[in-house]
A and B are shown apart, each in its own frame.
Chain A
Amino acid sequence: METEPYHATTARSKVPAGFLGMVLLVVLLELYIGRRYPPEVNGNSNDWRVAAELAKRQAAECDLLCFGDSQMKTDVQPRVLEPLLGRPTLNLAVIAGQAPSSYYLFRRALRAGARPSIVVVDYFLPLLTSNTQFNDEQWPEMLSLAETAELSWNAHEARVLGNWVVRKLFPSYHRRTQIRIHVLLNLQGKSPSTLLAGTVYGRNSIANRGGLVRERNTLNHDDLTHVPPCENPGGFTCTPVNQLYIYKFFDLARAHGIRLVWVLLPTTPAWQARIDAADPHQLYEKAMRQMLAQYPNATVVDGRHANYTQQIFWDRTHLDGLGAAAFSTELAAVLQREENEGLKSNRWINLRPYPGEPSGAHLEDIIDSCEIVRADPRNHWR
């Protein structure tokens, strides 16, 4: 065999038939994949999509709106708040929600006609230190092209827009994680579950007016033997894009004369002890106090040291259904008191200690939703 490179040159057609054939095949396959892998295949994606829909369709009827991340979504339950406050409530927090997601949902709700008197928001510290890449898979479920372009511009990251476009054009890329899991399961001779995680989460979220009710988890969440020391060692560095969108959120609330309640949600006692010892959280608290000074319409409700026992947690940072009912009851009491007495000079309110499990509160949790979806896969949205 000759080792000289060999490139026989032949005249070729000016029409790239091979490429055009590929385009045709790819279009057909993408259409198929788009149908085969709807947003429901991914719990988080579907959650963001449902929240975006709720903001557009239901937020206008509500007087109290909640925004934030999974802690807000699991811990603050509209079904508990509504009867106690007498205000229609909607939870628009999303799993792994970041400052921009809260802002865009809030703005969307306002544009859809919502005029809430109170908004409740939380910002989970580890998510503040992550850039927008963290939610690459979720942004296309929630944001429009214009909103994505705005986020991309504000984040100084062209990648955000590129990611949105590629994911919208190519469902195979957007759903590659699920496709890979299915391929792996098929290679191992297992059949993927027909019960889609997103369907169950979506059902639960709609049944609980945007809240996600976690089932009881009997594990000991205070056992931190194998847990690394603490997230974000070395200081609190909120990414510029998150910082910008916190300010935008606060400005939006102030511009519409809306009372803003920033909630610090409880974690298990052992985990809280670790958090308290870490510098980043002290710096975070300092930053929050500075925000309070700038925004007279804002109040902080601090539930971190309210001693919620580890038994009512689903994991270290999320309450289960009973814990969420207890926390929501306490939050309602604070909001009611504030409403009656007006804003005070001390706008940092520590939640009173955990009063025990509330009686009579039953919320549809994930297990219930799973049963409902399993029993009637087509009519579970009722």
Chain B
Amino acid sequence: MLFNSYHFAYFFALLFPTYWALRKHYKVQNLLLLGAGYYFYACWNPKFLSLLILSTVMDYACGIAVDRIDDSRKRKAFVALSMALNLGMLGYFKYYNFFAESLQVALSRMGLQVPLAQLNVVLPIGISFYTFQSMSYVIDVYRKDIRPTKNFIEFATFVSFFPHLVAGPIMRPTTLLPQVAGPRRFNLDQFYQGSYLIFWGLAKKIVVADNLATIVNDLFGRWQTIDGGLALLAIYAFAFQIYCDFSGYTDAARGIAKCLGFELALNFNLPYFATSPKDFWTRWHISLSSWLRDYLYISLGGNRRGTLMLYRNLMLTMIIGGLWHGAAWTFVIWGFYQGLLLVAHRLLEPWLKRIQPRGPVESVSWDLLRMFVTFHLVCVGWLIFRANSMEQVHGMLTAIATRFAVPATSYLAPVVAVVAPLLMVQTAQYVSKDLDIISRAPWYLRSAFYTACFYAIVIGGEFGGAQFIYFQF
């Protein structure tokens, strides 16, 4: 069930009044949310609901066991059990074919022909998100960051909370569980904010991402025949497509959660205004990067064991983060590339600080230059991310360097038409340092803005019901 579908509209239209009609009985509300979450998930494939339930039951039990046992070895064993189950499911469904195929290729290069069976399985939707979230609960209990919940319904509701179930944001137990465990009050202001976020999220998805998808698919599909100008345009278009697709989803998810009285974490904070790769990762998919930082990077030792180990940990974290996105070498290379950028930035940081200009005009220009460079470094990453092979990456970069021509208006205009209004809004948000600038504008400006968004969706939107890119991860 997609947020941008009639099916979801009916589902939510039924759920919302029922949910608030039960406002005096939050435990019944939780049951309703649990049922809604399972229905929402089962709409894709009811068979895979069993995986979600298995992960929930196991992590609930492991959480309680870890809390009750004092023996540190046994506690670790339960954490390991939880991780083995979650990562095992993830590995089986997402990575088995990739590793089997890679191993087979490697062995055949050594002259060994070892036929390895390929699995004919579909990737369960959202598995990367809910396994990470469920697993982090057991780790948090182990670290004594939270007390485990004794109420299974509350825990199951936390794991299967439908707004963020299949594409995040990955919520921490410390943030979401207390919200599930207590009563929610209907707050008109929160409802308005939620409605605005749903509206804005759908506008980003349907108008920007889905329109750009047509151009991106076309140009990436025939990359061998396009010139450098079109190759560059394809990369720019993909950068905004993936941003609006994913951030549009999480905006809608946050909006839906707000309408139900929940607060989900901010997942995107104007990422293309980042002034360094490090800054970018504090603005892009914030819930994943902070998850990787807290549960992987710090567990690997973080920056506590010297500079070399710090670089190793950064690289490992980013490579695993890349692999999290998908089972392909291009994702591994993308993660490696992001790791390299972070390491390079750390190395250059003292020098960058030294040459930073002091005057106001120079300072703004310096920031703009850094944004420009960071955006283009990120774009190279998106090329690796979107390409089907490294040959394609090489081919498109070569075209940009050697066969550049300004794209025709028929290509340029549709991209500019959807990206320019988005950038105008985001520039206002950046300059005012206020992500909620629209909802705080005078009523007539808000009316005009909402009307423009409405007609952008109705007339300019793509209604093919395109799936969100991050569902595949």
Contact B192 A12 (CB under 8 A): yes
| Nearest CB in chain B to that of A24: its residue | B447
Question: How far does the Cβ of A253 sit from chain B's closest Cβ, in whole Å?
Answer: 34
Chain A CB count within 10 A is highest, among B192, B279, B443, for B443
Q: Which of A3-11, A89-97, A258-266, A289-297 contacts B (4 or more CB under 8 A)?
A: A3-11
Asked if A159 CB lies within 8 Å of chain B CBs, one says: yes
- Contacting pair A25 B459 (CB below 8 A): no
**Does A25 contact B451, Cβ atoms closer than 8 Å?**
yes
Is B435 in contact with A7, judged by CB distance below 8 angstroms? yes
Residue B266 interfacial (CB < 8 Å)? yes
1/0 contact string of A39-76 vs chain B (CB within 8 Å): 00000000000000000000000000000000000000
Chain A, interface size: which category? 20 to 34
Asked whether, in the complex, the Cβ of B266 is within 8 Å of the Cβ of A158, the reply is: no
Does B222 lie at the interface of the complex (its beta carbon under 8 Å from any beta carbon of A)? no
Q: Which residue of B lies closest to A159 (CB)?
A: B6
Provide 27 A-B residue pairs closer than 8 Å at the C-beta atoms, listed in order of the A residue: A1-B275, A1-B367, A1-B433, A2-B433, A3-B279, A5-B435, A8-B434, A8-B440, A18-B446, A18-B447, A18-B449, A19-B446, A20-B447, A21-B443, A21-B447, A21-B450, A21-B451, A22-B451, A25-B447, A29-B451, A158-B6, A158-B10, A170-B458, A172-B458, A172-B459, A179-B459, A180-B460
Q: Mark B413-452, 1 if CB is under 8 A from A, else 0.
A: 1000000000000000010011110011101111111110
Q: Are the CB atoms of A180 and B459 closer together than 8 Å? A: yes
The 3 closest A-B pairs by CB, nearest first: A21-B447, A18-B446, A17-B443
Q: In the complex, what distance in Å separates the CA atom of A116 from the CA atom of B439?
A: 62
Question: A interface vs B, CB < 8 Å?
Answer: 1-3, 5-8, 10, 12, 14, 16-22, 24-26, 29, 158-159, 162-163, 170, 172-173, 176, 179-180, 183, 187
Chain A CB within 8 A of B188 CB: yes
Cβ of B189 under 8 Å from chain A: yes
Write out the residue numbers on chain B whose beta carbons fall within 8 Å of the beta carbon of A180: 459-460
A282 to B436, CA, bound (A): 62
Q: Is B54 an interface residue (CB 8 A)?
A: no
Give the residue of A2, A20, A22, A162 whose beta carbon is less than 8 angstroms from that of B10.
A162
B9 within 8 A of A: yes
Q: How far is the CA of A274 from the CA of B436 in the complex (A)?
A: 61
A1 to B282, CA, bound (A): 12
Beyond A159-B6, A162-B10, whether A29 also contacts B434 by CB under 8 A is no
Contacts of A2 in B (CB 8 A): 433
User: How near does chain A come to B287, taking the closest CB pair, in angstroms?
Assistant: 12
Q: With A14-B188, A158-B6 as given contacts, are A21 and B446 in contact (CB-CB < 8 Å)? A: yes
Evaluate whether A162 and B283 lie within 8 angstroms (CB atoms) in the complex, with A29-B451, A176-B458 already known: no
Quick check: A6 and B451 within 8 Å, CB to CB? no
Interface: B200 (CB within 8 A): no
Within 8 A of A (CB), among B257-290: 266, 269, 273-275, 279, 282-283
Q: Which of A8, A18, A163, A183 has the most CB of B within 10 A?
A: A18
**Are B430 and A1 touching (Cβ within 8 A)?**
yes
Interface contacts beyond A18-B446, A21-B444, A187-B413: sample of 18 additional A-B pairs, CB < 8 Å, sorted by A: A2-B433, A5-B269, A8-B440, A10-B440, A12-B192, A17-B446, A18-B439, A18-B445, A18-B447, A19-B195, A21-B450, A22-B450, A22-B451, A29-B451, A29-B455, A170-B458, A173-B458, A176-B458
